[in-house]
Amino acid sequence: MKHFNTLSAYLEYLELPRPEHPMFSVFTAMGDGFLPCPKESSPPITNDCYTISFKKIIKGDLTYGRTQYDFTNGALFFIAPRQVLQWDSSVVFEQKGFSINFHEDFLKGTELAQQVKKYGFFSYSANEALHLSPKEEKQLESIVQNIEIEYHNNQDEFSKDIIISQLSTLLKYANRFYERQFLNRKELSNDLLEQFNQHLKKYFESGQLQEKGIPSIEEIANKLTVSQRYLSDTLKQETGKTTTEHLQLYLIDEAKNILLKPNKSISEVAYELGFEYPQYFSRLFKKREGLSPSEYREKYKMN
């Protein structure tokens, strides 16, 4: 797999114009112009750059998780350093919008270097893009225009600080719009929670729990065809609980049924539920229920 250490090498591979700054570039086409076209397809590659790109789809289907959506209003994509990129010619983008690319070292020594790591959308896969309304699109365009003006100015001691400030504002607005998107997709959130629970049910019933142990959140997310971060953010926004908490609650519910079978010891119940250490199971159960497994069994045992 090819890896590009510099912004210039990455843009050259994409067959895009060289950047005016060695660690920062911006392309815009929000008026009569057109964005430069990157190469039509690529095998998997990685690089050390961040990308913020807004484009509209005019041909081909793109899905959001397992659901197809109307992308004609535009989608904002966020790509972090060392994420694997791959594309083919099946999806055609309208060459309008903007594309900002910058090397991770461009942020070194700034507050944004730490802040950018807190934005979950940089860990999303491409099919979990931010879908903008026309009003939101205009708000971001105005910020990008300010970035572009500064980018094309003669560089001086203030240039980087001004661009960093505008980037920070852009990401704060994107974060706000993501919150709106989660709120507007409650039906999808509920569906995702249902898929999450159904997957666990099948996993338990198939005997994989005893064979492979408790599934990781990453494994579950892969089965649901979403990223781990998106699964967690969606469930947290909709239910107030993280993915790990939902998994633990499911395990505790299963434990309650098994505990009422008097022929099984607490350790056997723990092992049956995929816990490597019974003590961890007991601590988790008491944390969630306020009772130890033994106390729960004694309180609710069948006569």
pLDDT tens per residue, range 116-172: 988 888 876 544 667 788 889 899 999 999 999 999 998 888 999 999 999 999 999
pLDDT for res 65 = 37
Distances from the Cα of 224 to the Cα of 79, 84, 164, angstroms: 21, 19, 36
List of the chain residues with pLDDT < 50: 62-70, 126-127, 187, 302-303
Alpha-carbon distances, residue 126 vs 80, 139, 190 (angstroms): 11, 22, 22
Region for residue 225 given its phi and psi (left: phi exceeds 0; alpha: psi -120 to 50; beta: otherwise) = left
Cα distance between residue 125 and residue 259, in whole Å: 40
Q: Which residues touch 74 (CB under 8 Å, ≥6 apart)? A: 54, 55, 56, 97, 131, 132, 137
Q: What is the pLDDT of residue 276?
A: 84
Cβ neighbours of residue 146 closer than 8 Å, sequence gap 6 or more = 166
Please report where in the chains the tokens 């392309």 appear, as a residue: 27
Q: Please report the pLDDT score of residue 58 as a whole number.
A: 57
Q: How far is CA 129 from each of CA 55, 126, 137, 138, rounded to the nearest angstrom? A: 11, 6, 14, 17
pLDDT score of 12? 95
CATH classification of 187-300 is 3.65.10.10, yes or no? no
Does domain 2-184 match CATH 2.60.120? yes
- The pLDDT score that the predictor gives to residue 122 is 82
Diameter of the chain measured on Cα atoms: 84
Span 188-200, pLDDT tens digits: 555 778 888 888 8
Helix/strand/coil (H, E, C) string of the chain?
CEEECCHHHHHHHHCCCCCCECCEEEEEECCCCCCCCCCCCEEEEEECEEEEEEEEEEECCCEECCEECCCCCCEEEEECCCCCEEECCCCEEEEEEEEEEEEHHHHCCCCHHHHHHHCHHHHCCHHHCEECCHHHHHHHHHHHHHHHHHHHCCCCCCHHHHHHHHHHHHHHHHHHHHHHHHHHCHHHHHHHHHHHHHHHHHHHHCCHHHHHCCCCHHHHHHHCCCCHHHHHHHHHHHHCCCHHHHHHHHHHHHHHHHHCCCCCCHHHHHHHCCCCCHHHHHHHHHHHHCCCHHHHHHHHCCC
What's the confidence (pLDDT) of residue 190? 58
Domain locations along the chain: 2-184, 187-300
